Amino acid sequence: MASIDDVRAIALALPGAEESVSGHTGEAAWRVKSGQFAWVRGPSATDLRQLSELGRDWPAGPVLAVRVGDLGEKEALLAAEPEALFAIPHFDGYPGLLVRLDVVDRDRLEEIITDAWLVRAPAGVAKEWLAERGLG
């Protein structure tokens, strides 16, 4: 089980990451200069209605939205981890998915957030960060 505090610690440890407040929801969001990579996401009335029409419910615990590389990666992740990751109609055609913090463990959350950061981080910063870890 992970928390918003875990998200904050993981995200802010990444180069260039800053925390802000989403203008739409007033919830915490994390971004680099080139864009947002993770944000706390609650359901809108439309989300709840659409999920109900699909016979699904919004999870009870906190939810984090993250960017992914592309739609293929999104589908692969959703298929591999349906207990922790999900999508909603609002995200159809968008390279992002939702993470149930009450289900995902901190180590996996760190991987998810780091991958989201890598999608948005400036190429040179990402390359240097990966090289420092022997991953580049």
pLDDT tens digits for the chain (136 residues)?
899 999 999 999 999 999 999 766 788 999 999 999 999 999 999 999 999 999 999 999 999 999 999 999 999 999 999 999 999 999 999 999 999 999 999 999 999 999 999 999 999 999 999 999 888 6
Please give the model's pTM, rounded to 2 decimal places: 0.94
**pLDDT at 120 (0 to 100):** 96
Alpha-carbon gap, residue 37 to 96, rounded angstroms: 9
pLDDT of residue 135: 84
Q: Where are the domains of the chain?
A: 4-129
Q: How far apart are CA 10 and CA 76, in angstroms?
A: 23
pLDDT at 37: 97
Q: Which residues pair with 20 in a beta bridge?
A: 29
pLDDT (0 to 100) of residue 24: 67
Q: Looking at the domain that runs over 4-129, which CATH code has it been given?
A: 3.90.1150.30
8-state DSSP, 42: P
Residue 67 DSSP label: E
- Return the structure tokens found at 34: 């080139």
Residues 67 and 83: beta-carbon distance below 8 Å? no
Torsion over CA: 90, 17, 76, 52 (sign): negative
